[in-house]
Structure 1
Amino acid sequence: MIGNKIGYQTNLTKLPILLMAALLCSIMPSNFMVLVSAGFILAHLYKLSIQCAVVGLIMFLLMFLLYFRFSPKDTLAVMLTPMCFYLSIPYVMPIALGLLGSPASIISMAFGVIVAFFVNYISDNATTLTGAEIEDSATQFQSIISELMNNKRMWVFVAAFAITVAVVYLIRRMAVDHAWTIAIIAGALTDIICLLVGDMMYTTQLSFIGVIVQSIIAILLLMILQFFAFNLDYTRIEKVQFEDDEYYYYVKAVPKVTVSTPAPKVKKISGSNAGRDYRGKDRGE
């Protein structure tokens, strides 16, 4: 995906190089994927413009300092957020992180959003960044920083996604029936409302129909995620009450959905019976 979006360093888009990088990522710790992806992006940006590479380097250094400090286990959040933007299903990520992650996942997801918008900006303005219109390097560097920091649409997405993660996380931890389903729907509605409010305040030119359609797609995908990660049978709820020297305990147990397998039937043949049959055949009986 990086090569398709900003594949300026053609040597890094060749299949053997990609396979070698994939092999390394498969055997190294999960955070190694983030470092490899950052290295690929910086290499492509350096081929385009050294100023773009410097801005990207600063962004990744800040990301690593905060990411490895607060949410080092959220590798998938950093990786999948730009990928979901590339696949036009970005609204999956904040709800999924609210279901499977923690509030600290907001940091990783926010950097994923920033990386997605930064790469998209570089891809859309490659001609301008390499052309003769901006001859002064300092001016070009300042222009890239200004475009990134003043991108109101990007910050609206960061804020909306952060609020969505918090709402989904709070709801899915409630001791109510179908908590995950309620959290998914509430998260999608929260995301839509936040994006539309941000669009009205800052004129981000979001498509209302597009937001609705992509949110519905996100809900369907998250229902599939719920089936594999949190599939409960609410028809067999059990409530237990017990006590110790200091507390009374009221426990609500909701069993997981399981597929019952039939018990195997084993026919036991004793060795003595088998021996008699064998000897009987020798005597012609």
Structure 2
Amino acid sequence: MRKFILVLSLLLTFANADTIGIKEKLGVMVPLDLTFIDEESKSKTLKELMDGKPTILTLNYFRCAGICTPQLNDLAKMLSRLDLAENTDYKVLTVSFAEDEPADLAAAKRKNLLASMTREYVADAWHFVIGENNSSGVLADTVGFSFQKTVADNGKVDYIHTAALIVLSPEGKVTRYLNGIEQLPFNAKISLIDAAEGKIGSTIAKALPYCFAYDAKGKTYIFAWEKFAAIIMLTLVFGFFYFLVKSGRKEDDHQKKGENNE
């Protein structure tokens, strides 16, 4: 019994540990009264930004040297091919979770991405915003998107995070997660159609890439050793648990054989 209590306590420790990634919260309602600063430095509520449309939400930071740029570039490419009318059938909202990014940086990012698209795209359909009064942090927590702030020796701030598109219904309900950097227009279309009806869909693509902090001096990405260590420890715990179960069964069989021989 003591063996099983020990294993259970270890499992609970790791289960309650903070992790970087996404803890899906399908069906949760996001607070539509959260306010953000848009590309024109105007304060707008999430409700105003969504404008009663199903919305593709991305959480990034605009100075990101990792997966944010590939993700947003792919999103622009995918939206160019999406067989739905932007600003009528859906909205797109890219929220910065960084604490110090200015509105002009959001505007520049938006301008570059819209210019990269292969067709005329209604600019008002895709907004780039920064948080106000920790609104981006509240939003990220509500949809289950966690990240970790890192500060280099030179004071440079980065964030370890993952990439996903999170689809919201017009009422602000989380209806689907599309994990990863590259997304198919068909998957996005079905997700938005379902979201328009408030239908919750299954997650698409479970594999999650992670953005690590960039070490400019070493010209490399800093490995998220905490995440790797947690995975290794969980593997060892489950392996130890399996060993205890197997050894316990062998001990019971041995005792039963001894009793039968008596």
- Same topology, TM > 0.5: no
Query: What TM-score do the two structures reach when normalised by structure 2?
Result: 0.26
Q: Tell me which structure has the larger Cα radius of gyration.
A: 1
Query: What TM-score do the two structures reach when normalised by structure 1?
Result: 0.25
